A = this chain, B = another copy of it.
Amino acid sequence: MATQLSSKEDYESLLDKYDTWMFDCDGVLWRGDSPIDGAVEVLDILRKRGKLNQYPRKRLLFVTNNATKSRKNYKGKFDKIGAQVTVDEIYGSAYAAAVYISSVMKLPKDKKVYVIGMSGLEEELREEGISFIGGTDSADNTLETFTLANFTLDPDVAAVLCGLDTRINYTKLSKAFQYLTRNPGCHFLVTNEDSTYPTADGLLPGAGSISAPLRFALGEDPISIGKPAKTMLDCIQAKVNFDPARTIIVGDRLNTDILFGQAGGLATLLVLTGITSTKDITGPHASSIVPKYVTDSIGDLRALRSG
């Protein structure tokens, strides 16, 4: 059973145990465009704590599955709510997907990716020097009838990458399906598999729902980059030196954030400001995924205020 935290001593003990703090963003630090009460102050408190001779005293990392935004877009979002965060503290599944394609898959320079996704995903691919088609291209953002006879298969497409795309349509799905079935060895990648996407006003279908048609049509599971997949942790570990035993991830979702932490040997802190509610973790229908700690909101850590 998860340990419920509530007192200043509870949070102080957490600070003693963990130096690297990973945060999910949607549902933890904000919901849509509304910051969670106290989130900015808590990030500020954490930055000021820790051993004086250690730099950074506490390392903060922001690990998000939302692939509609690039790290730079995210930096802008942090700026807007008044949180001091640098681009290299941000790990998004769009960035991790681009790193995976260039460094793990080692996509040859003359090959390209067919993208179902938005400008943030394209920006990360561009920064990694990956050629792509599809995405925000107006030719693919249409509700006009898709006619297979008029479609020319690009033989250089060696991967389909699918993230949350709120302009999803039959042309994009059909083109992706052609590449995956007709270009031999074409890889099927998804940024993440979140079934839903939390907005300030409620839930909408998530990235996993956008790739679900391809998964269903192919009868095949994609390679997933974001939490809970280890690919995301590999991407962070390639850039940051941290001790998993002294690392904690704060998240709102059991089957992404908490599972990700557990698979990577990190401690896990569930907050109840996003997807998961008390009934999901207690009682007869509780999930089999049990976080190490629970607190109502990241704002609870304001108890750590000095004095």
Mark A residues whose CB is within 8 Å of B. Answer: 141-143, 145-146, 148-149, 165-170, 173-174, 177-178, 181-182, 195-196, 199-206, 208-210, 212-219
Contact = CB atoms under 8 A, between A and B. Distances in A.
Given A209-B217, A216-B195, A168 B169 contact: yes
A165 B146 CA distance: 12
A151 to B, nearest CB: 8
Nearest to A164: B170
A206 B155 CA distance: 24
Contacts of A217: 195-196, 205-206, 208-209
Contact of A203 (B167, B169, B177, B212): B177
Contacts of A181: 203
Contacts of A174: 204-205
Contact of A201 (B142, B149, B204): B149
A148 B216 contact: no
A170 to B, nearest CB: 4
A173 B196 CA distance: 12
Nearest to A148: B201
25 contacts: A142-B143, A143-B169, A145-B166, A148-B201, A165-B170, A166-B170, A167-B170, A168-B170, A168-B173, A169-B169, A170-B205, A174-B205, A177-B205, A182-B202, A196-B217, A205-B213, A205-B216, A206-B217, A208-B217, A209-B212, A212-B212, A212-B213, A212-B215, A212-B216, A213-B213
